[in-house]
């Protein structure tokens, strides 16, 4: 949920849970015969994205993990996506008549906490199925990301030995809107020029059939993987692709 701030409820609670879990591992791993200095994370797709975000978050202490295996991750930290989904969910839940403005966030949170968790999940599914509104990623917040996107933080990531890659036939998705695809990935990479949008549409628009959508999505995923690999290797850490 993204209600516009990190108070009274922090955004990106799933990542906060992961950080808490890793702290538990550090405290308890010796009891299982493990070494707290040799904790390696592995993730694919959403799991890979979680690891990518943990490596760049200024709020994640160094030493929580010492290695990473990242496959097919594309961390979309775009302002507003989760905010729109949260606002719409609040409206259909009956917890707001207008919007999630700062002056009534406390009341909205109290209202949402009175609703059964299963019902909230069903509302989220309803929005995704009927209005194509989904909770699809993380929010740029103040606690974990200091109000910066992944691409703005990646050059200062915590370097570590890593295996980073992607599959050959990446992103076999049902997104068949090239304008949407180009807009999303241009924002993710932080490009500002309209020329970039035009170049994206021209390049992939020339490809016949639905294959152009998969190729565009694959290229974007491979590009972000390469970007992180370069940033990691600049800090003299082992990197395998």
pLDDT reported for residue 74: 83
Residues 6+ apart with CB under 8 A from 152: 190
Residues 6+ apart with CB under 8 A from 112: 1, 90, 93, 95, 120
Question: Would you say 50 and 13 are in contact if contact means Cβ atoms under 8 Å apart?
Answer: no
pLDDT reported for residue 172: 62
In the chain, CATH 3.40.50.1820 sits at: 13-77+139-172+222-240
DSSP string, 109-166: HHHHHTS-HHHHHHHHHHHHHHH-----S----SSSSTT--HHHHGGG-----EEEE-
pLDDT reported for residue 100: 46
- Calpha distance 48→64 (Å, rounded): 16
49's tokens: 């994205």
The closest alpha carbon to 75, from 151, 155, 10, belongs to: 151
Is the overall model pTM greater than 0.85, yes or no? no
For 13-77+139-172+222-240, the fitting CATH number among 3.40.50.1820, 3.90.1150.10, 3.20.20.140, 3.40.50.720 is: 3.40.50.1820
Residues 6+ apart with CB under 8 A from 67: 38, 39, 40, 41, 160, 161, 162
Low-confidence ranges of the chain (pLDDT < 70): 78-81, 97-103, 169-174, 235-241
């Amino acid at each position: 949920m993204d209600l516009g701030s990190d108070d009274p409820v922090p955004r990106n609670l799933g990542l906060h849970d992961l950080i808490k879990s890793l702290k538990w591992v550090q405290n308890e791993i010796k009891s299982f015969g493990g070494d707290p200095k040799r904790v390696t994370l592995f993730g694919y797709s959403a799991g890979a994205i979680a690891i990518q975000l943990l490596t760049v978050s200024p709020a994640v202490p160094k030493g929580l993990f010492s290695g990473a295996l990242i496959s097919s991750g594309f961390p979309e930290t775009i302002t507003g996506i989760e905010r729109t989904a949260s606002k719409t969910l609040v409206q259909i839940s009956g917890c707001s008549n207008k919007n999630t403005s700062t002056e009534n966030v406390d009341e909205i949170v109290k209202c949402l906490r009175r609703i059964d968790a299963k019902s909230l999940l069903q509302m989220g599914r309803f929005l995704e199925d009927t209005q194509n509104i989904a909770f699809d990623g993380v929010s740029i917040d103040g606690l974990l990301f200091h109000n910066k996107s992944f691409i703005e933080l990646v050059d200062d990531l915590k370097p570590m030995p890593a295996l980073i890659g992607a599959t050959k036939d990446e992103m076999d998705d049902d997104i068949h809107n090239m304008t949407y695809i180009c807009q999303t990935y241009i924002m993710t990479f932080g490009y500002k020029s309209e020329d970039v949008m035009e170049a994206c549409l021209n390049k992939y628009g020339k490809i016949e059939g639905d294959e152009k959508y998969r190729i565009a999505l694959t290229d974007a995923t491979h590009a972000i993987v390469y970007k992180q690999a370069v940033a990691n290797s600049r800090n003299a850490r082992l990197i395998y692709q």
